[in-house]
Amino acid sequence: MQLILASASPRRRELMGLFRQPFLVRAADIDETMDPAADPWAEVGRVSRAKAMATPREADDVVVAADTIVVCQGRVLGKPHSEEEAAAMLRLLSGRDHQVMTGMTVLRGDAAETITEVTDVHFRDLSDREIRAYVATGEPMDKAGAYGIQGGGALFCTHMVGDYYNVMGLPVCRLGQMLRKTAPEWMGENL
């Protein structure tokens, strides 16, 4: 049995390292387009499940796949495609509450469990100057909602309710619970 992280994200790879157990990285190549008419909570779970199912694996391997979005005022914010789009996302988040949703699937054999973890985040009011300066760092460009809570985005967050690691892209506490059930031999005795 191998544990496979179906993600090229350096943040997810770092968070998987918290388990102090070996794992492989195999990014799944799927169409991650979400149906704008569907419930974002369900859609992010669907995408994570599709990633898990598309990952090459042996019969007894365990696959962990995740997908993260930001939802603000009913609008789904994925990764920005331009600096202008990143700035527009940050202006939308300025002074508002939003939800970070991570769909996560653990797959072993034909059995898959999918959950969606939600964390509520509040941003303080941001000035246009702050937004421009943050976008200029390049950090927002590969992150859902155009910010990284583990980086410069931490300066904007006044409070959150839920899992901090979910905002980074992988709710490790929930993942540990899922892996303890699905792959207890991988988890090790000290976790």
Cite the active site residues: 67
3-state secondary structure the chain: CCEEECCCCHHHHHHHHHHCCCCEECCCCCCCCCCCCCCHHHHHHHHHHHHHHHCCCCCCCEEEEEEEEEEECCEEECCCCCHHHHHHHHHHHCCCEEEEEEEEEEEECCEEEEEEEEEEEEECCCCHHHHHHHHHCCHHHHCHHHCCCCCHHHHCEEEEECCHHHHHCCCHHHHHHHHHHHCHHHHCCCC
